[in-house]
Amino acid sequence: MIKRTLAQIADMANAELSSPTWNEVVMEGASIDTRTLEKRQLFIPLVGENVDGHRFVNQAYQKGAAASFWQRDVPNPPEDIPLLFVDDVLQAMQDLAKRYREQIGVKIIGITGSNGKTSTKDIVAQVVSGQFKVQKTLGNYNSQQGLPLSLFTLKEDTEVMVLEMGMSDVGQIEILSSIAAPDIAIITNIGESHMETLGSRERIAEAKFEITTGLKKDGLFIYDGDEPLLQDKVKDPNISFTCKSFGKTKTSDIYPLAIELKGDGTEFMVNSYPDTSLFLPVLGIHNVKNAMAAILAAQHLGMEQKVIKKQLANLQLTAMRMETIQGQNQSLIINDAYNASPTSMRAAISLVHSLKGYEKKILILGDMLELGVAEAELHQEIGHFIAEQEIDYVFTYGTLGREIAKGMKASKSNIEVQSYDSKTDIIEVVRPLLDRQTVVLLKASRGMKLEDLLEDLSQ
C-alpha cells in the first residue's frame, strides 16, 4: 500500500504541510472512515451532503492517524497535529492516487460497462494472475472516492491492477480514467442502467467511452462487438490506440465457435484457439463474453494459451453473481441477486431457458431499480421476453415485479406467474416444487435483497 513521508504526500497531493516538523513522518495507507482507520494511515475528511469528515479529524489522530487532509475553506483547523492543507479534499485524494499510480509504474486494466463489470474484473484478474502479480478493486470501490482508495492499496511489487470504474453521470468515467491511466480499457456492454439520469443508450455509450480518455496511446481498447453504439465509436480516425472486439458473431475479433452449458459450468471454444476446449466453472453465455474480453487482455500481455485455459477453469466469481448453490431436495439454485438491469435480466433468463436436464424451471424475479420514467414499460418487456422462453413458473417480488407479470399476461403466456409482496409467501409456494429436476433463478436489483430467500430454499 502507499507508504510515503508527509513531505512527499504534500508534493504528490499539491498540499501544504502545517509544519516542517512533520516532514519525515511516514504515513502508510489511507482511510475515509475513522471506524475502520488504522494506525499511521492518512485520514481523508471528505465533505458530503450530510456529514463533513472534518468533524472527525481529531478523533482520527487520537486513533493513530499519521496526518489528515484539511480543506482550506473549512474554519478552525486543530493545532499541534499534522495537517495537509488543500483546496479540495476529493481533488487532493485523486491527485495523490494518480501520482502514486505513476510512481509504481504498474500496468492498469480498467473495466466499465452497464452490466458485468465485477464479473469481468474477477475473470480478468484470475486469468492474468497466471503470469503476473495482480491486484484488483476490492468490493465496489469503483467510484470517485473508491477508485483512489483502491489505488492506495497498491503494493509496490504488483505488476497488474484490475480496476472497476463505475458512474452515475457523464464525466465521471473520464475522471477515473485520467487518474488510472489504463494500459488496457474494457467496456463490457451498453445497457439501460442510469437511463434515469442520462436519458438514452446513446448518452450511456458516450459516458462509458470516456474510459478511453486516459488510455495510453499504445494501449488496447476491448469492447463489446455486438453493440452498434460502440462499433460507431471506434471508427473515429483520430483514435491512436488499438481496438479489439469480443462478441457472438464472426464480425468480432474473438467469438465463440461452440458453447455448452453444463450443471457445473460452461464449456466453450473460441476462434483464437479453435482446437481447444475452454471451461468456466460458472454459468451463462454472457460470462463467455466476459471471458473472451479477458482472453484479449491476456493475449495483449503476452500470455500463453495453456495458462489462460488453466486460469479460466479455476475461476471464482464474487458472491451473488451467477452463484450456483445446492437447493433443498438436490435442486439447483442460481443466485444472481447482486444487481439487475433489463440486459442482465434477459441474460439470466436465457441461461435458465438453455439449461438441459431440468424438468422444472423457476424464476424468482424482483424489481429492477433506477430505470427512470420508463421503468414500468421495461419490466413489462421482460414479461414479454419470458413468454417466449421455456420456463415453468415465475414468481415476482415487489411493485415493479408485478409489471413483469403484467407483461407476461399481455403476451398470453401459458407460464404460471404469481406476484408477491412477501418473501415468506414466495418461500412457502416454491419450497414444495424443489427436487433434483428443478432449477431456480434469483434475480433482482441489490436493494431487493432476494438472497434472503436462500436460507430457506438451500440445504
Q: What is the pLDDT of residues 68-94, one digit of tens each?
A: 999 999 999 999 899 999 999 999 999
E strands, 24-113, in order: 26-28, 30-31, 42-43, 67-71, 83-86, 107-112
Provide the terminal-to-terminal Cα distance of the chain, rounded to the nearest Å: 40
For the chain, the C-alpha Rg in angstroms (whole number) is: 24
Residue 49, domain CATH:
3.40.1390.10
Per DSSP, 77 falls in state P
Assign 343 a pLDDT band (cuts: 50, 70, 90): confident
* Co-location of 260 and 160 in the same domain: yes
With respect to residue 159, please indicate whether it lies within any of the assigned structural domains.
yes
Please indicate, yes or no, whether residues 147 and 75 belong to a single structural domain of this protein.
Answer: no
Task: Mark whether 427 and 360 lie in a shared domain.
Answer: yes
User: 170 with 188, same domain?
Assistant: yes
pLDDT in tens, 12-47: 999 999 999 999 999 999 999 999 999 999 999 999
Backbone angles phi, psi at 389, to 5 degrees: -105, 165
Same domain, 350 and 421: yes
- Give the DSSP per-residue string, 133-195: -EEE--TT--STTHHHHHHHT--TT--EEEEE---SSTTHHHHHHHHH--SEEEE----STTH
Containing 412, the helix (H) or strand (E) segment is none
Q: pLDDT above 70 covers what percent of the chain?
A: 98
- Please check whether residues 351 and 271 belong to one and the same domain: no
Note whether 281 and 376 are same-domain residues: no
Q: What is the DSSP letter of 56?
A: G
Interhelix angle for 285-300 vs 117-128, to 10°? 40
Average pLDDT of every residue of the chain: 93
Alpha helices in 301-400 (DSSP H): 305-313, 342-354, 375-386
Q: What angle do CA 148, 150, 152 make, to 5 degrees?
A: 70
Q: With a cut of 70, say whether residue 321 has pLDDT above it.
A: yes
Which residue, of 88, 117, 141, is where some domain finishes?
A: 88
pLDDT tens track for 295-318: 999 999 999 999 999 999 999 876
Read off the pLDDT band of 271 (50, 70, 90).
very high
**Residue 332, H or E segment:** strand 332-336
Residue matched to cell numbers 401459458: 414
Are 444 and 361 members of one domain? yes
Q: Report if residue 93 sits inside a domain.
A: no
Q: Are residues 138 and 204 in the same domain?
A: yes
Q: Are residues 66 and 164 in the same domain?
A: no
Q: What is the pLDDT of residue 75?
A: 95
Tell me if residue 83 falls in helix, strand or coil: strand
Whether residue 318 is contained in a domain is answered as: no
Model pLDDT for residues 97-122, shown as the tens digit of each residue: 999 999 998 999 999 998 888 889 99
Domain that holds residue 119: 105-313
The tally of domains found in the chain comes to 3
Q: Is residue 95 part of a domain?
A: no
Is the residue at 97 inside a domain? Answer: no
Query: Residue 313's closest CA among 273, 345, 268?
Result: 268
- Predicted confidence band at 349 (pLDDT cuts at 50, 70, 90)? very high
Dihedral sign, Cα of residue 350, residue 352, residue 358, residue 359: negative
Based on the fold, state whether residues 26 and 150 are members of the same structural domain. Answer: no
pLDDT at residue 324, rounded to an integer: 84
**Is residue 228's pLDDT more than 70?**
yes
Q: Which of 313, 340, 370 is the last residue of a domain?
A: 313
Write the burial class of residue 210 (CB in 10 Å: 0-12 exposed, 13-18 middle, 19+ buried): buried
The pLDDT score that the predictor gives to residue 320 is 61
Q: What percent of the chain has pLDDT over 90?
A: 80
**230 and 303 both lie in a single domain:** yes
Which of 313, 334, 351 is at the close of a domain? 313
User: Which cell numbers hold the place of 28?
Assistant: 502508510
Q: Which of 187-191, 261-265, 366-370, 400-404 has the lowest mean pLDDT?
A: 261-265
Contact 426, 364 (CB under 8 A): yes
How many C-beta atoms surround the C-beta of residue 72 within 10 A? 13
